[in-house]
């Protein structure tokens, strides 16, 4: 099994873990944020999931890289949203650190996937 296939197989369940954790946490946000910050967090997550699925399904290297870079942007936005949530005390330090670790794991897998696409 090559590195690209392994990355694809590993990143999807890791990303799903990120979605599950995020959904559990945003349920605790104040009602006033349900249509603002919560909506933005969920949007970044689900758009990112779409990019993963596209990248897995695509064979053209340039199209695959385009989707992986778009995923990277969504993850960066997610990091910003989480920082805002922490600053406004919607989440604890423990939640912030756990969330950050989940995102970092996905980002590391994404970086490996991007690098393997660039080497071909």
- Provide the terminal-to-terminal Cα distance of the chain, rounded to the nearest Å: 15
Tokens for 4, please give them: 């690209």
Q: What is the largest CA-CA distance in the chain?
A: 48
pLDDT of residue 119: 86
Structural domains present in the chain: 3-26+36-119 (1.20.1440.60)
- pLDDT, tens digit, for every residue of 1-41? 344 455 557 999 999 999 999 999 999 999 999 999 999 99
Instruction: Give the pLDDT mean for 69-93.
Output: 97
The Cβ-side half-sphere exposure at 70, using a 13 Å CA radius, reads: 18
Q: Please identify which residue in the block is written with the tokens 């695509």.
A: 58
Map residue 91 onto helix, strand or coil. coil
């Amino acid at each position: 099994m090559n590195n690209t296939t392994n990355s694809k197989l590993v990143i999807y369940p890791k990303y799903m873990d990120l979605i599950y954790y995020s959904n559990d946490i945003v349920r605790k946000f104040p009602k006033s944020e349900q249509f603002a910050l919560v909506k933005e967090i969920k949007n970044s997550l689900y758009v990112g999931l779409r990019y993963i699925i596209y990248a897995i399904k695509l064979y053209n290297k340039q199209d695959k890289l385009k989707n992986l870079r778009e995923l990277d942007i969504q993850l960066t936005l997610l990091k910003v949203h989480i920082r805002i949530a922490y600053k406004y005390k919607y989440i604890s330090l423990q939640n912030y650190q756990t969330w950050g670790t989940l995102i970092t794991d996905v980002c590391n897998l994404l970086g490996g996937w991007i690098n393997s696409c660039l080497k071909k």
